[in-house]
C-alpha cells in the first residue's frame, strides 16, 4: 500500500469515527490507547496575557475595568520592590494621567515590574528594548503564572462567603479618598447614589454637571461663549483639527497618516472637501450624516446643532479601521477660501465652526502649500479665532519635495514672516516640513529636492510621534480646558453682576444703553475690585454686541454664595481631585 493510499484510508477512518461519535454511536468508536501506549501529556505554560488578565481581575475590587490607586498599591507590594521603583512603574504605566490603569496599562506595569526584578532600569527605553526580546511574568507573592487563576477564584469565593462589600461599597471607599466637596455630590440629589468617581475625567465631569453647569445656565454663558458641555465631551477620544486653504493637501495628508483614503474622501486640484469630516475608528467602513451624529448622546457633537441645518448638511462622520484612529480622531475641514462672494456662499459661520472644534480638539494642524503662502482674509480670521489655543497649533509646510533646497529655505522664511504678522504670540509654533502624500519624498518626476529626503523622513516620523503622544496629554488637556472654562465663567458672572447692579428700578432701557456705551469702565471696575487678569476678559466689542440683545435686568443678581461656588471649584475641587488621583505610591 502506498503512502498516499495509507493516508487516505487513515483520514477516512478518522472521519467515520467522528461521525459515529457525533451520532452517539459510542460502541462503534475504537477504544482509546492503553496507558502504556498513550503519548505523555505535557503541561502547557499559561500565556502571559492570560495570567495578567487573571491578576487584573483579582486586583480590580469593584470589577469596573479600572485599577485605581488603592488596589494597585495592594497588588504592587507583592513584587517586593522598593516604593521608589513602584512609583516609577505607576508613572510609566499611567501614561494618560487619568488616575487608573486599564487592562493594557496594567500589562505594561507588570512587564516593568518584571524588568525591575531582573535588575533592569525602569524607563521607557528599557521597556521598549525588553519588549522586543520578550518579558517573562514577574514574581508576585501569592500569585504566579500557574496559581493566578486559582488565587483569584479563591479570593472571590472567600469574599462572597464573608459578605464582602460589592460595587456600591467599593464606590463609597473610593469616594472617601476624594475631597469633601466631591463626596457631597451624591447627597445633593434624592434620585439615588452618585456614580463612583474612578478617574480624573469622572471627577471633572461630576464637578461640571453638579456645580458649574447650573451657573452657566443661570447666567446664559452659552450665549456669550460656547454651548454647555455634554457627557460625550468628557469621554471623547482626543482629536486633531486640520485647517488649510483649498488644495494644500489636507485630505492627502490624512491618507498619508491612515494608509489609505477614508470613506468619502475625494482628492483633486480643485476645492474638493466641502464638509467637516470627522474620521474616527470603527470595525468597518461607514459614513454617518451630520444630523445623525449631532443627536447621539455618546458622541461629542451635540453642540453643533446650534449651527443649524446649513452646517449639519455639511458635516459628516467617516468610520474606518486604523491603528492611529484607535488613539486619535482626525477632523478634515473645507478649504479656506478668499473673496467675499465665496465666503457668502456658505450657509453657516465657518469661523464659528472652526472655533467650536478648536475649543475641543487636542491639536490644530495648519497646512500650507509651498506654492500658496499668501494668507487670505478668511485664513487670517481663522488664525485669529485660534487665539488662546497657541499651545495646540502645529504648522505643516507641505509639498516641500517639489522645490529645490534653496527655494525651500526662502519659502520657509516667507511663511514665518507671514505668520508673524497674524499670530499674536512671541512663541514660534512647531513647523513640520515635508511632502505628506503617502509616497517617499522625491518620488516620481515631480521630485526636485532629493537632497532633503532624509530630513523629510525625520520630519514625518516626528509628526507621527507627536500624534501618538496626544493620548498621553489628553487628560491634562481636558483638565486645563475645564479650568479655563471655569475662569471664563467667573469673569462672565462678575461682569453681568456689575451690569445688573448698576441698573435702576425705573428707566432700565435708557440706563442699559448708557451702560453699554460705558462698558470699558465696567471692565475696569471688575478688574480693580476682583483682581481679574486683563487676559481673562472677553473681547469688549463682541461682549457688547451680545449683551445688547438681552434685557440685563433679567439676569440673576450675583450673590456671594454663587461667586463662592464657582471660586471653590478652582480653589478646592479641582486641586483636591488631582491630589486624589496622583501617584498613589509616591
Mean pLDDT of 9-14: 43
Mean pLDDT of 49-64: 88
The span from the CA of 581 to the CA of 67, in Å, is: 12
Query: Predicted confidence band at 344 (pLDDT cuts at 50, 70, 90)?
Result: low
If one compares 87 and 159, the residue with the highest pLDDT of the two is 87
Q: Where in the chain is the domain with CATH 1.10.268.20?
A: 475-580
Cβ(206)–Cβ(327) under 8 Å?
no
> According to the model, what pLDDT value does residue 313 have?
92
Query: Predicted confidence band at 525 (pLDDT cuts at 50, 70, 90)?
Result: very high
The listed range with the strongest mean pLDDT (142-156, 255-269, 295-309) is 295-309
> According to the model, what pLDDT value does residue 345 have?
66
Whole-model pTM: value is 0.72
For 163, half-sphere exposure in the C-beta direction (CA atoms, 13 angstrom radius) is 0
> According to the model, what pLDDT value does residue 421 have?
76
pLDDT digits (tens, 9 = 90+) for 413-429: 888 888 877 776 666 78
Mean pLDDT of 393-412: 86
Residue with cell 516604593: 83
The span from the CA of 526 to the CA of 494, in Å, is: 7
> According to the model, what pLDDT value does residue 268 have?
56
> According to the model, what pLDDT value does residue 331 have?
94
Q: What percent of the chain has pLDDT over 70?
A: 77
**What architecture (CATH level 2) is domain 48-161?**
Orthogonal Bundle (1.10)
> According to the model, what pLDDT value does residue 165 have?
42
- Reply yes or no on whether the pLDDT at 241 is more than 90: yes
Cβ(396)–Cβ(436) under 8 Å?
yes
> According to the model, what pLDDT value does residue 438 have?
64
Residue 365 DSSP symbol: E
- Reply yes or no on whether the pLDDT at 488 is more than 90: yes
pLDDT digits (tens, 9 = 90+) for 358-385: 988 999 999 888 887 778 888 888 888 8
> According to the model, what pLDDT value does residue 509 have?
81
- Kindly indicate whether the domain formed by 231-468 is annotated with CATH number 3.10.20.30: no
Q: What percent of the chain has pLDDT over 90?
A: 29
State the average pLDDT for the chain.
Answer: 79
pLDDT digits (tens, 9 = 90+) for 77-115: 999 999 999 999 999 988 888 888 988 899 999 999 999
Q: Where in the chain is the domain with CATH 1.10.238.10?
A: 48-161
* C-alpha angle 138-139-144 in degrees, rounded to nearest 5: 100
With H, G, I as helix, E, B as strand and everything else as coil, classify residue 430. strand
The listed range with the strongest mean pLDDT (39-48, 200-209, 386-395) is 200-209
- Kindly indicate whether the domain formed by 475-580 is annotated with CATH number 1.10.268.20: yes
Alpha helices, DSSP H, located in 448-506: 453-468, 470-501
Residue with cell 462503534: 28
> According to the model, what pLDDT value does residue 402 have?
82
Q: Where in the chain is the domain with CATH 3.40.50.300?
A: 231-468
Query: Predicted confidence band at 526 (pLDDT cuts at 50, 70, 90)?
Result: very high
Amino acid at each position: 500500500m502506498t503512502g498516499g493510499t495509507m493516508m487516505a484510508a487513515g483520514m477516512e477512518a478518522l472521519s467515520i469515527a467522528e461521525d459515529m461519535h457525533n451520532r452517539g454511536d459510542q460502541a462503534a468508536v475504537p477504544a482509546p490507547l492503553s496507558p502504556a501506549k498513550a503519548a505523555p501529556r505535557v503541561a502547557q505554560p499559561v500565556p502571559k496575557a492570560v495570567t495578567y488578565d487573571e491578576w487584573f481581575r483579582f486586583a480590580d475590587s469593584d470589577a469596573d475595568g479600572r485599577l485605581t490607586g488603592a488596589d494597585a498599591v495592594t497588588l504592587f507590594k507583592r513584587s517586593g520592590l522598593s516604593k521608589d521603583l513602584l512609583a516609577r512603574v505607576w508613572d510609566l504605566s499611567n501614561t494618560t494621567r487619568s488616575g487608573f490603569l486599564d487592562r493594557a496599562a496594567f500589562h505594561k506595569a507588570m512587564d516593568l515590574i518584571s524588568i525591575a526584578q531582573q535588575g533592569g532600569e525602569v524607563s521607557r527605553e528599557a521597556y521598549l528594548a525588553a519588549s522586543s526580546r520578550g518579558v517573562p511574568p514577574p514574581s508576585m507573592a501569592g500569585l504566579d503564572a500557574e496559581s493566578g487563576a486559582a488565587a483569584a477564584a479563591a479570593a472571590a469565593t472567600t469574599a462572597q462567603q464573608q459578605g464582602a462589600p460589592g460595587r456600591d461599597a467599593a464606590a463609597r471607599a473610593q469616594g472617601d479618598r476624594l475631597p469633601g466637596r466631591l463626596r457631597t455630590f451624591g447627597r445633593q440629589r434624592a434620585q439615588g447614589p452618585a456614580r463612583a468617581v474612578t478617574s480624573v475625567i469622572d471627577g471633572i465631569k461630576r464637578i461640571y454637571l453638579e456645580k458649574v453647569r447650573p451657573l452657566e445656565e443661570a447666567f446664559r454663558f452659552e450665549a456669550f461663549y460656547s454651548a454647555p458641555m455634554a457627557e460625550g465631551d468628557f469621554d471623547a477620544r482626543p482629536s486633531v483639527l486640520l485647517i488649510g486653504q483649498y488644495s494644500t493637501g489636507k485630505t492627502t495628508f490624512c491618507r498619508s497618516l491612515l494608509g489609505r483614503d477614508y470613506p468619502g474622501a475625494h482628492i483633486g486640484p480643485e476645492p474638493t472637501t466641502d464638509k467637516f469630516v470627522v474620521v474616527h475608528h470603527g470595525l468597518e467602513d461607514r459614513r454617518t450624516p451630520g444630523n445623525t451624529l449631532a443627536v447621539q448622546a455618546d458622541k461629542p457633537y451635540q453642540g453643533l446643532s446650534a449651527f443649524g441645518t446649513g452646517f449639519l448638511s455639511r458635516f459628516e462622520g467617516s468610520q474606518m479601521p486604523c491603528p492611529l484612529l484607535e488613539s486619535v480622531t482626525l477632523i478634515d475641514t473645507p478649504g479656506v477660501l478668499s473673496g467675499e462672494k465665496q465666503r457668502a456662499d456658505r450657509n453657516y459661520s465657518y469661523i464659528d465652526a472652526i472655533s467650536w472644534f478648536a475649543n475641543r480638539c487636542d491639536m490644530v494642524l495648519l497646512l500650507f502649500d509651498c506654492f500658496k503662502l499668501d494668507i487670505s482674509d478668511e485664513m487670517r480670521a481663522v488664525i485669529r479665532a485660534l487665539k488662546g489655543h497657541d499651545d495646540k497649533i502645529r504648522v505643516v509646510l507641505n509639498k516641500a519635495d517639489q522645490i529645490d533646497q534653496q527655494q525651500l529655505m526662502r519659502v520657509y522664511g516667507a511663511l514665518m514672516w507671514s505668520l508673524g504678522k497674524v499670530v499674536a504670540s512671541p512663541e514660534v509654533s512647531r513647523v513640520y516640513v515635508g511632502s505628506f502624500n503617502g509616497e517617499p519624498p522625491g518620488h516620481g518626476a515631480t521630485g526636485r529636492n532629493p537632497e532633503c529626503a532624509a530630513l523629510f523622513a525625520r520630519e514625518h516620523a516626528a509628526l507621527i510621534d507627536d500624534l501618538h503622544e496626544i493620548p498621553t496629554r489628553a487628560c491634562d488637556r481636558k483638565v486645563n480646558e475645564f479650568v479655563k472654562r471655569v475662569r471664563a465663567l467667573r469673569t462672565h458672572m462678575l461682569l453681568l453682576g456689575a451690569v445688573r447692579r448698576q441698573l435702576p428700578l425705573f428707566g432700565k432701557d435708557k440706563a442699559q444703553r448708557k451702560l453699554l456705551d460705558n462698558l470699558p469702565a465696567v471692565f475696569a471696575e471688575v478688574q480693580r475690585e476682583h483682581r481679574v487678569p486683563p487676559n481673562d476678559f472677553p473681547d469688549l466689542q463682541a461682549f457688547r454686541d451680545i449683551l445688547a440683545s438681552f434685557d440685563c435686568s433679567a439676569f440673576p443678581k450675583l450673590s456671594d454664595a454663587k461667586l463662592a461656588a464657582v471660586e471653590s471649584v478652582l480653589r478646592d475641587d479641582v486641586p483636591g481631585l488631582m491630589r486624589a488621583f496622583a501617584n498613589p505610591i509616591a
